[in-house]
Structure 1
Amino acid sequence: MYIDYSGGIPDTLLQWLYEEKLFKLFIPEELGGRMLDLPAALRVFQKVSETEGNMGWLTAIGSGGGMFIPNIEKSLAEQLFKDEKAVIAGSGYPNGKARKIDGGYIVSGEWKYCSGSPFASFYTANSQTEEGEIRSFIFMPHQVEIIEDWNALGLRGTGSHTIRVRNALVSDEYTFKLDVPKNEYAGPVHRFPFLPFSQASFMSVCLGITMHFYQEARQIVKRRIKNDDTRFRPVDLLLTEQETIFQQKVDTFYTEIERLWNLHVQGNSLSEKEINQFSKMCKEDLQLVIQGVDTLMRYLGMDAIMETSSLNKIWRDLHTASQHAFITPL
């Protein structure tokens, strides 16, 4: 519960994330990364989220920043990513305004929900130029003001605050476009379509948090039955039923992402139909997963409603993670 109350990740855990290169899962080994394929990375996201939801979310978001590496000038990419503590925070929404000048841009704007903002080594955000073009800009910490406004139901330790820049001078080298490669660091994962990549990443985090929920619920039910609370015997049956349904959804998710990944690495472009079907599956299955968790919550008594309980925190983290626009029912 320390993370909930402090609003951040303890330095010891943050150091562990750095040492395990969990923000560098899609960074080439020559720059200190692990360069995993997508299915392997998703299992890492799930496992870390199963341990602690905030850390899982930050792992997915931080690693996701590595998807930009092929679009950044090579010398700058090496400078930014070689640092053991390299991690990006930022936003894809084009909320900023950029004015062109000789050699660069003057950029101003605010971007919400920038997870990892308190410890990011640099920031990326999209802005619209005076010509109507959307460009991505790299800001260094001294250019960024963090507005500590992340006050959500859960994932309270992710530091998903608003960032603000005011008349920041950004040289041309520190801008990029996502469809323009600038170096040879792109691997298969960088060429995977962005939407299913993002949906799979957030889905795996939610699956990990849900796994943790069922583990915690199982401990509560065991303890109550051991104390001769006969009311919890039917709850034990309901828990087993929900765990089975949940595991089926996990298996289906990984079967489908493996199928899409194999098509991709074999050189096949994913069709719009395949991408839409995967999106639909993620949204519908996550909705069923959350309904199963919420159904069980009604039977877990006071253990479920106290903010100081681990179960309550896990439940809040799940409902917060699942609110990301890419995986909501809309």
Structure 2
Amino acid sequence: MQHFSEEIIQQVRAYSRQLEATGKLSPEILAYIYEHQLFKLFLPQSLNGREMALPEALGIFEEAAQIDGSFGWLVTIGCGGNFFAAYLSQEVAETLFSPENAVVAGSGAITGTAIKQEAGYNVNGQWQFCSGAHHATIFTANCKIGATEAETIRSFVLLPDQVRIIEDWKTFGMQGTGSHSIKAENAVVPVERTFDLSQSPLLFPDYLLYKYPFWQFAEVSFAVVALGVGLHFLEEAFATLEQNRQRRQDASPERYAFILKKYETAREELLQAREAFYTAVTASWQEMETQQMLSEEMKKTVSRASKKVAKIARQAAHEMFPYLGMAAATETSLLNQLFRDLHTVCQHTTLISYED
């Protein structure tokens, strides 16, 4: 891996079971993330960020997910929240996003209400799937504005002392992401801590990432997590195949050759989908550099490539799973965890295709 040392790879993987059990990153892993600004890949340098181009950052997300699915998801989601900095005032953006440990957890659901008051807005609601809730310093939530502004939708920035975390993340995979619900009751949010994603960004006009369409941004970000987990599954599947061959002296050479061929085919198909995915993303970034926007055709190309690489990753795991014995079916095995993580990532609506 290009972006992570062997030491941190082993440290994260050694903590993987505990991460699943607690849904919380260890202080040591969080310290590593802060030191290497892994939650700040998409923040401008003026906010102590790394101001990366999208294709480069996706390579980091992929590797992080290949180390551990929940770790990769948390790094990816943590960076995704950087997008919102451009929709706030300079002063508020600096206050919220400049600290070393700054990171957003939030939800795209519109499950809150806000009533305009003299001091700002009174916010109430409950929002699901706030990944990284336990280490977040910023929470974002969408609300319908009260009766005087019927049907208006606005996003709100809530601080940790304004929300209660409800530990209801009970999925069979990605258990380590701590993607719990948050609840706010009569939280007072000043106007300057609200924004509207349907409008153009207010800040950092020279940073192309903030002009990239948000839907395609989400698609490519989630797709590389599926890709990374899928590659890790195949890595572990091959290791299991080799261990079984060495352990069983009576192992059939024909059986081994059959499964090995399955593995090689699945891996080759995934690597081809990976190449097509990065080709599409790179082309989209080049179009952003020349046109400052994406054409509708390019948006479709990126979306198709994102969905396809996730689909191929999922199919690769399906193809190998029956041949990996009880190790794959045992809940406490790494193979099983990877299988569950991969399918949980691929449930995200941005990765579901309704085309063949």
TM-score (norm 2): 0.89
Matching of residue 217 in structure 1 with residue 237 in structure 2: yes
Match in the other structure for 2:318: 294
Structure 1 residues 106 and 5: CA distance shift in structure 2, 3 A: same
Matching of residue 159 in structure 1 with residue 186 in structure 2: no
How far apart are the structure 2 equivalents of 1:53 and 1:286? 14
Match in the other structure for 1:263: 287
Match in the other structure for 2:201: 181
SS in 2 for 1:298: helix
1:235-265 deviation line (CA, Å, top 9, x unaligned): 1121111111111011110011101110111
1:227-238 to structure 2, matched below 5 A, reads 227=247, 228=249, 229-230=251-252, 231-238=255-262
Matching of residue 244 in structure 1 with residue 244 in structure 2: no
How far apart are the structure 1 equivalents of 2:191 and 2:262? 58
1:138-153 to structure 2, matched below 5 A, reads 138-153=157-172
**Alignment counterpart, residue 134 of structure 1, candidates 149, 153, 164:** 153
SS in 2 for 1:109: strand
Match in the other structure for 1:64: 80
Maintained 8 Å contact 1:8/1:156 = no
How far apart are the structure 2 equivalents of 1:297 and 1:127? 43
Name stretches of at least 5 consecutive residues in structure 1 with no aligned partner: none
How far apart are the structure 2 equivalents of 1:70 and 1:323? 29
Matching of residue 328 in structure 1 with residue 352 in structure 2: yes
The count of aligned residue pairs is 330
Maintained 8 Å contact 2:230/2:316 = no
**Alignment counterpart, residue 2 of structure 1, candidates 8, 18, 21:** 18
Matching of residue 314 in structure 1 with residue 333 in structure 2: no
More helix by share: 2
SS in 1 for 2:25: coil
Match in the other structure for 1:117: 133
Structure 1 residues 183 and 270: CA distance shift in structure 2, 3 A: closer
**Alignment counterpart, residue 307 of structure 2, candidates 277, 283, 286:** 283
Amino acid at match of 2:188: L
CA deviation after TM superposition for structure 1 residue 185, in Å: 6.3
Amino acid at match of 2:185: R
How far apart are the structure 2 equivalents of 1:302 and 1:232? 16
SS in 2 for 1:157: helix
Match in the other structure for 2:224: 204
Matching of residue 93 in structure 1 with residue 109 in structure 2: yes
Maintained 8 Å contact 2:107/2:141 = yes
How far apart are the structure 1 equivalents of 2:200 and 2:219? 23
Maintained 8 Å contact 1:143/1:168 = yes
CA deviation after TM superposition for structure 1 residue 289, in Å: 2.5
Question: Which of structures 1 and 2 has the larger relative contact order (alpha carbons within 8 angstroms, sep 6+)?
Answer: 1
CA deviation after TM superposition for structure 1 residue 115, in Å: 0.2
Maintained 8 Å contact 2:223/2:306 = yes
CA deviation after TM superposition for structure 1 residue 280, in Å: 2.6
Match in the other structure for 1:22: 38
**Alignment counterpart, residue 39 of structure 1, candidates 55, 66, 70:** 55
CA-atom RMSD, angstroms? 1.4
SS in 2 for 1:40: helix
1:219-247 deviation line (CA, Å, top 9, x unaligned): 11111222332233311121111111111
CA deviation after TM superposition for structure 1 residue 180, in Å: 4.1
Maintained 8 Å contact 2:269/2:312 = no
TM-score (norm 1): 0.96
Name which of structure 1's ranges 153-162 and 231-240 shifts more when overlaid on structure 2.
Answer: 231-240
How far apart are the structure 2 equivalents of 1:7 and 1:258? 34
How far apart are the structure 2 equivalents of 1:180 and 1:295? 44
Name which of structure 1's ranges 69-78 and 11-20 shifts more when overlaid on structure 2.
Answer: 11-20
CA deviation after TM superposition for structure 1 residue 186, in Å: 5.6
How far apart are the structure 2 equivalents of 1:255 and 1:276? 14
Maintained 8 Å contact 2:43/2:50 = yes
How far apart are the structure 1 equivalents of 2:221 and 2:162? 29
Name stretches of at least 5 consecutive residues in structure 2 with no aligned partner: 1-16
CA deviation after TM superposition for structure 1 residue 268, in Å: 4.9
